[in-house]
Amino acid sequence: MTLSKKMISTNPLRCMRNAVCILLAMLLLAGSIEAKPKKKEPYKGYRFTLTIFDCKDTVMYLGNYYAGGTYAFDTARISPKGMFVFEKKDRVLKPGLYFFCSPSGNYVEFAVYAEETLKFDFVTEEPGWQTNMRVKGSAENELLFRYHQTNRACYRSIDSAQAVMTDSAAFQKFRRKKLTQMDSIKEAIISQNPNSLIALLMNATREPQVPLYDADSNRLSDRQRWEYYMEHYFDYSKLEDDALIRTPDMIFHKRLENYLDQGLHNAPPETIIKYVDMLIDRSRPSKENFRYLVHTIAEKYLQSTVMSYDAVYVHLVQRYIEPGLCEWMSPTTVDENVKRATTWDNLLIGKVAPELILKDSAGVFHSMHNLPNKYTLLVFWSPTCGHCKTMIPELYNKYQKYRDRCDIGSFAILSEPDEPTRPKWYEFIRKHHLDWLNLDGGEANIDWHEVYDVVTTPQIYLLDRDKKIVAKKLSADTFEQVIKALENIKD
């Protein structure tokens, strides 16, 4: 059969529409790639061939994603037949999204997820590796590449329409129609292939739909809607699937950052604990996701400068590390975390500060717990500390400004009580007129370095009349802000 000229469309917009329809039909006619979940355990050994027609590169890399990074682990040189061969019989590959990339920056992604063996043959051409990619030996990747081709065809049709359509409203209608079509394709793929990697990827980036009303038609408050959002943020993510950690950062790593940095921004520690526990506990079936979440979240709150967020770190250690749930940690690392958490647990906001009894510069002992003031400013500092040299005079000026008005006592401890430092301490006190209770840390009732975890200086606490910790990790400015808030000082 021959085609007449009338039967051949030369309208680029119509051609793009037809291309999308053809690819859509191919995608949906393919049906489900699996009747039941297949292997998603680590694979031992692989053989991947990659043929790229008109390829300008002679070297190709094989790599994988992990959390927020990309890692190349194998290299192949082009053969006389124009093929790159990656083969390792003993190398273990774990489920996830992998990629081929060239030194010039071209790359194409593929799935290692639910096949019986890793023997895939990829064929494509320049330019547009992913657009032109074909594969043998992997139904999972056939589906992945068909979707990419359909998605690209959709956006090409939108770009072509924008170039030829002069009616803005008509173009927006066309664009919405195409994007709605792609949404339908995604839903069809997820429905027909629920155990595929592409379904995992699509689901993981879905946002929860927050209702405006509850079951009784009562309008939800902003707080209630935020709580719903936080509780359902990871509803579509397979936190129990190890493959999730080996996906591009936007799939899991960035969403976790958004959850912690934006969703839980400025939340009280008990709220953070509630939501991170919910997240970590859901990941427990996956050793890798569980490990990543415990490590990442614990490290974040270990390093936090927010005065009350050490409570989150303490909780994570006590709930997951101390009971032995973190099997990847060495005994030494476990002991270090438990020791630090035990120390910090006694220094949390609201806890009574451990008693300190030290000598002043005249050799007279003073008990911190016996100070009668409404507040006590507890300071660990040294004249040899560069940061202290700047902050201590500023802090003292703020202290002087509020000490009588707010009844603030002081307990300022030399944190380097040795012979070379003491003369510098006396000189610094005289130079800056530090007329507060100056105490030598050399002789004390406890090892305050250990009890107060004084590793860096200055360390500044504000205690109430009962010597409970009201605030810590203070600077001169935040000390003033806290006092003004506590005493309702407006000026």
Q: How big is the CA angle at 257 (ends 255 and 261), to the nearest 5 degrees?
A: 125
Which of the 8 DSSP states describes residue 75? E
Taking only the tens place, the pLDDT of each residue in 422-459 is 999 999 999 999 999 999 999 999 999 999 999 999 99
The region of weakest confidence among 14-23, 141-150, 179-188, 258-267 is 14-23
Per-residue model confidence (pLDDT) at position 16: 47
Per-residue model confidence (pLDDT) at position 114: 85
What distances in angstroms separate CA 317 from CA 152, 307, 469, one per listed residue?
46, 18, 21
Cis peptide before 458 (omega within 30 of 0): yes
- Please tell me the chain's helix, strand, coil percentages from 3-state DSSP, rounded to the nearest 5: 45, 20, 35
Q: Which of 18-27, 117-126, 167-176, 367-376 has the highest mean pLDDT?
A: 367-376
24: its two tokens: 């859509």
d(CA 143, CA 27): 7
Mean pLDDT of 255-276: 97
By percentage, how much of the chain surpasses pLDDT 70?
92
Beta-bridged to residue 438, according to DSSP, are 412
Q: Mapping DSSP to helix (H, G, I), strand (E, B) and coil, where does residue 280 land? A: helix
Beta strands across the sheet bearing 83-93: 83-93, 43-53, 119-125, 134-136
Using the predicted structure, report yes or no on whether residue 480 has a pLDDT greater than 70: yes
Q: Mapping DSSP to helix (H, G, I), strand (E, B) and coil, where does residue 355 land? A: coil
Domains of the chain (ranges; CATH) run 29-181 (2.60.40.10), 222-345 (no CATH), 357-487 (3.40.30.10)
What distances in angstroms separate CA 119 from CA 88, 135, 282, 345, 421, one per listed residue?
11, 10, 33, 53, 68
185: its two tokens: 């394709």
Q: Mapping DSSP to helix (H, G, I), strand (E, B) and coil, where does residue 200 land? A: helix
d(CA 278, CA 357): 43
Amino acid present at 206: R
What distances in angstroms separate CA 290 from CA 92, 279, 315, 320, 371, one per listed residue?
20, 9, 16, 10, 47
Using the predicted structure, report yes or no on whether residue 35 has a pLDDT greater than 50: no
Q: Angle at which helices 386-406 and 476-487 pack, to 10 degrees?
A: 20
Using the predicted structure, report yes or no on whether residue 11 has a pLDDT greater than 90: no
> Does pTM surpass 0.85?
yes
d(CA 82, CA 406): 81
Mean pLDDT of 287-297: 97
d(CA 86, CA 105): 19
User: Furthest-apart CA pair in the chain: how many Å?
Assistant: 110
Using the predicted structure, report yes or no on whether residue 349 has a pLDDT greater than 70: yes
d(CA 312, CA 300): 10
Using the predicted structure, report yes or no on whether residue 15 has a pLDDT greater than 80: no
Per-residue model confidence (pLDDT) at position 271: 98
d(CA 305, CA 308): 9
The region of weakest confidence among 117-121, 181-185, 319-323, 445-449 is 181-185
Q: How big is the CA angle at 475 (ends 405 and 357), to the nearest 5 degrees?
A: 70
Per-residue model confidence (pLDDT) at position 33: 53
What distances in angstroms separate CA 265 from CA 149, 179, 230, 348, one per listed residue?
39, 33, 12, 20
d(CA 113, CA 41): 8
Taking only the tens place, the pLDDT of each residue in 378-398 is 999 999 999 999 999 999 999
Per-residue model confidence (pLDDT) at position 105: 86
Would you say 36 and 195 are in contact if contact means Cβ atoms under 8 Å apart? yes
Q: Buried (b) or exposed (e) across 47-83, using 16+ Cβ within 10 A?
A: ebbbbbeebebeebbbbbbbbeeeeeebebebeeeeb
Strands, E assignment, 321-402 = 357-360, 365-367, 375-381
What residues contact 280, with CB distance under 8 A and at least 6 apart?
290, 293, 294, 297, 320
Looking at every residue in the chain, the average pLDDT score rounds to 91
Per-residue model confidence (pLDDT) at position 446: 97
Would you say 399 and 410 are in contact if contact means Cβ atoms under 8 Å apart? yes
Mean pLDDT of 233-244: 96
Q: Mapping DSSP to helix (H, G, I), strand (E, B) and coil, where does residue 262 land? A: helix
d(CA 285, CA 238): 10
Taking only the tens place, the pLDDT of each residue in 157-200 is 888 888 888 889 998 999 999 899 888 998 999 999 999 999 99
Query: If we measure between CA atoms, which residue out of 131, 119, 143 comes closest to residue 192?
Result: 143
Per-residue model confidence (pLDDT) at position 491: 76
74: its two tokens: 């194998």
Using the predicted structure, report yes or no on whether residue 29 has a pLDDT greater than 60: no
Taking only the tens place, the pLDDT of each residue in 63-112 is 999 998 999 999 999 998 889 999 999 999 999 999 999 998 888 999 99
Question: Length of the chain in residues, anyone?
Answer: 491
- Comparing 421 with 34, the larger pLDDT belongs to 421
Would you say 140 and 113 are in contact if contact means Cβ atoms under 8 Å apart? yes
